[in-house]
Structure 1
């Protein structure tokens, strides 16, 4: 007797039969893709005992991954914030204040005496004696050089002899005139007494002609005397020129003659000394560039330095600004004269000097450093991070224009510039302020208009720390 199998006892269509005929993959709780080997029966109780699958959001691995993503995002945010803090720019500022400003024009030149005289000789000869040397003070009329006068004295003697001969000839001609006049008078008297019969007309004409010749000879002799007198005077003048004297109270700057030297003045006067007027008053010759000459005026004050006294400033005053130009290596300059007081005689002619001419002065004006006018801020790494956040720093973006540059454009007006000011506060951003600059001394600039006021902090430099 055979026992019926469970499947046979189950009515058809019962759950047991359905379970028995179902594949393991179709049963609840069965592992996905699980299939029974062909030809093998699967125990339904085994399949029913397997645990059911959980929903995806209830799985621990999902929450673990989400936590890791949050931690990673926080780490990136912290790194970016630290990078931004390290890359934040720092600004060098200077507080706007009022003060005085002096505009100067710099020019180079040399110191010269107010007047120099070249003393020479008009005569040729041999130098017999030299009485002064360089740096000597001389007085007007003082004899400086004496030439050998022996030839000049001989010439004077010859001139005197010529004058004496001319004077004697005058006397002779005068005697001849007297004789001719007396002879003519006798002829005329006889002619009157004889009624014109004697002497003859020819004899009277001859007597008259003789008198005229005698008088002409007398005039010529007198002219000879005057010529001899002039020659004697010239020789005497030359003798006086053999002793060369000072024309004024001066100081000897150079000397080019010594006793025994031969002086040849046949073509032009030979310079023996160069003397200068009182060295207590000198003149500074400077050459002002064409770009600065419009600011230079007569009576402006100036100071200058020389290499001999580099730490001392000497005062000067402009007395003349030349109209004629001097062109050197395509540079156009104008000669300008400045009077200099040299009471202690510390300055010497020929010294090279650098002058600072006070062209303009301003008192109690608004001043900013020139670096502030040249400064334009740049966009820092901190700005980039602050604008885009974490995700934007990791993703590419289209290039953007510099908003600070636009602000500068808006702040500037026609004929004006701008400076950047830093408001109070740790997180303050630079702000452009329009200004109208005036004169500048090369370091500070006068502000004549705009929105800048005393107390504002103008930015002169920007430093961005390297990101770490």
Structure 2
């Protein structure tokens, strides 16, 4: 180490090591003052009573959030074939079913009584037919005998009245036989209808699949054509249907993407793609999105669950953007008017209302149109805690 000369010592000169030590000490002191200033700012905060965020210019992918229900592939609705009272139900839904399995059973007591009565009527009609057939044969035999004697006697016997009476008896018996045959045919048709009604009183699964839900309960009266249950052939291949407006339909691109969030299953988000837009029978439109397979195990979903579809619309480029919170902020005691707008923090800290026209949004930011807003302007998004309610 270099030593100081007597002259340097007299003049107070310092070694290089000592100078470096003073420099480090000075830097440490400056860093401490800076940390103290930041800590004080954190505790005390700014004098402004508002939180604010800058207006930005950039690109935006708008989203449309709509609620819908998950459907399985090959999903069909089973309707009641006839009126009746539900007496049993396989399940309210949420289970696998086999082809032909009973799902809903209607009360058949009245049908059973009707079937028994019609079967008895049919037996009676058959017995009546047998009696009429016997009578017809007897009358026909007598008429044949009369006609034989008539030919042999040259028309002298039997008398004309006897001949006419025999012919009338045969004709009446033939009419009675025809009526008996009609009664039998009608009875058989009625029994077939009763048997069909008995069979229709049981709604069965048309194929093996997943019972999504049943919309009826035991004791409930249903009418013919009323929906009873919904069954899906393939519950693993899912789609979601959401109602949309004509305007929404025009904003959706082909194969538009979406994110599907199921109620109560925050870890089961699924991607989806638009497959078609349908027109509903009573007006309106419906968008159908096919869900992608799950990216991880344990995130399986089932038909019938309610879900939220966040649909990506056509991208907006180079637009003016503000946080959504800025559009709902209001001053103390003020009610937001119907006019859309934001509050801008002026250079003096005073808020200034600026009316805007709203465009698309992505759930976090919104596109706005206003000649009074520029990128970098600070829009107010909320109150600071120590000023809230003051």
Scaled by the length of structure 2, what TM-score is found? 0.55
Match of 2:160 among 201, 204, 221: 201
Aligned twin of 1:106? 64
* Distance in 2 separating the partners of 1:350 and 1:462: 44
Match of 1:276 among 199, 207, 231: 231
SS at match of 1:122: coil
* Distance in 1 separating the partners of 2:198 and 2:140: 44
Contact 1:284 1:338 in 2 (8 A): yes
For these two proteins, the number of residue pairs brought into alignment is: 273
| Deviation of the 1:165 alpha carbon | 1.3
Instruction: Please give the residue correspondences for 1:5-404 in structure 2 after superposition, counting only pairs within 5 Å.
Output: 104=62, 106-114=64-72, 115-118=75-78, 120=80, 122=82, 124=84, 127=87, 129-146=88-105, 152-248=111-207, 249-254=209-214, 256-258=216-218, 261=219, 264=221, 268-269=223-224, 273-277=228-232, 278-306=234-262, 308-309=264-265, 313-323=269-279, 334-341=285-292, 344-346=299-301, 349-357=304-312, 359=314, 370=320
Runs of 4 or more above 6 Å deviation: 324-327, 440-445
Structure with the larger RCO, 1 or 2 (CA within 8 Å, 6+ apart): 2
SS at match of 1:169: helix
| Deviation of the 1:246 alpha carbon | 2.6
SS at match of 1:302: strand
| Deviation of the 1:274 alpha carbon | 3.0
* CA deviation vs aligned residue, 1:416-435 (integer Å, no higher than 9, x gap): xxxxxxxxxxxxxxxxxxxx
Aligned twin of 1:68? none
* CA deviation vs aligned residue, 1:79-111 (integer Å, no higher than 9, x gap): xxxxxxxxxxxxx9x999xxxx88555241312
| Deviation of the 1:220 alpha carbon | 0.8
SS at match of 1:247: coil
After superposing the two structures, state which structure 1 stretch, 133-142 or 104-113, moved more: 104-113
Contact 2:255 2:273 in 1 (8 A): yes
* CA deviation vs aligned residue, 1:295-336 (integer Å, no higher than 9, x gap): 425544433444545576522232332456999xxxxx7432
SS at match of 1:280: strand
Aligned CA distance change for structure 1 residues 368 and 233 (closer, same or farther; 3 Å): closer
* Distance in 2 separating the partners of 1:326 and 1:121: 24
Gaps of 5+ in 2: 1-53, 322-359, 368-373, 379-390
Contact 1:289 1:334 in 2 (8 A): yes
* Distance in 1 separating the partners of 2:199 and 2:282: 43
| Deviation of the 1:205 alpha carbon | 2.9
* Distance in 2 separating the partners of 1:279 and 1:166: 53
SS at match of 2:185: helix
Q: What is the Cα-based RMSD across aligned positions, in Å?
A: 4.4
Scaled by the length of structure 1, what TM-score is found? 0.47
* CA deviation vs aligned residue, 1:34-66 (integer Å, no higher than 9, x gap): xxxxxxxxxxxxxxxxxxxxxxxxxxxxxxxxx
Structure label with greater radius of gyration: 1
Aligned CA distance change for structure 1 residues 240 and 289 (closer, same or farther; 3 Å): closer
Contact 1:134 1:255 in 2 (8 A): no
Aligned twin of 1:449? none
Gaps of 5+ in 1: 1-91, 328-332, 362-366, 372-439, 446-458, 464-468
